Amino acid sequence: MPRHVLVTGGATGIGRACAARFAKAGDQVWITGRRAEALEATAAELGAHAVVCDGSDPDQLARLREALPARIDVLVNNAGGNTDFDGEPGEGLHALAAAWRANLEANLLTAVLTTAAVRDRLADGGAVVSVGSIAADHGNGSYGPAKAALASWNVGLAGELGGAGVTANVVSPGYIADTEFFRDKLTDARRTTLIEATNTGRAGTPEDIAGTVAYLASPDARHVTGQVLAVNGGAHPSR
């Protein structure tokens, strides 16, 4: 029986790769995002369902619930990104507060609210997989702390969902090429530095992350929960 999969931020980049991976496996896939045109184009290509939704908006999440099936087997909390790239930083405490709130809403609150919105529909044997970042271990302004908070939240979520047979994990990418993350602001010198930091000598791809997400949502990972799995080519090794 095909699974029902919800991927937030599913129109492009990592989210699109995840949606494509599940769709190719025969699952029924719903993708969300804020840009209707991009969503609809991706949905048409993948045979997925598109729902325009800002995951930080409770009213839009209520409408999303109405468009979803009664059972969700896999939730991929992928929506997010470094909102600092969206504009020039302002000055003063008000601008600083706004910048931090923007990253927290985009990277933490979207996952928290979306998960809460569909929690009663998560199926026994299901999985919640949230996309974090190597920045959680490196600082990186307000973006890194937002992703660190996502990983901390996941610890509690795994405990809450475990009794229902649902796992909860975070995939933490390093530098991933072919995404909109850097908003075309990544210099060649910075790209070279990021690649040279890896042991594999290459940038990651959206498919690298999609493969890890697919594993965490598979029967092989039913005893893996409350974890952060790093996919960074060795740029940030652990023991």
State the catalytic residues: 143
Give one DSSP letter per residue of 158-171, joined into a string. Answer: HHHHHTTT-EEEEE
List the one residue out of 82, 78, 69, 81 whose CA is nearest residue 29.
69
CB 53 within 8 Å of CB 32: yes
- H or E stretch covering 62: helix 58-67
CA distances from 238 to 52, 134, 233 (A): 38, 12, 12
CB 15 within 8 Å of CB 9: yes
Cα 201 from Cα 197, distance rounded (Å):
8
CB 12 within 8 Å of CB 42: yes
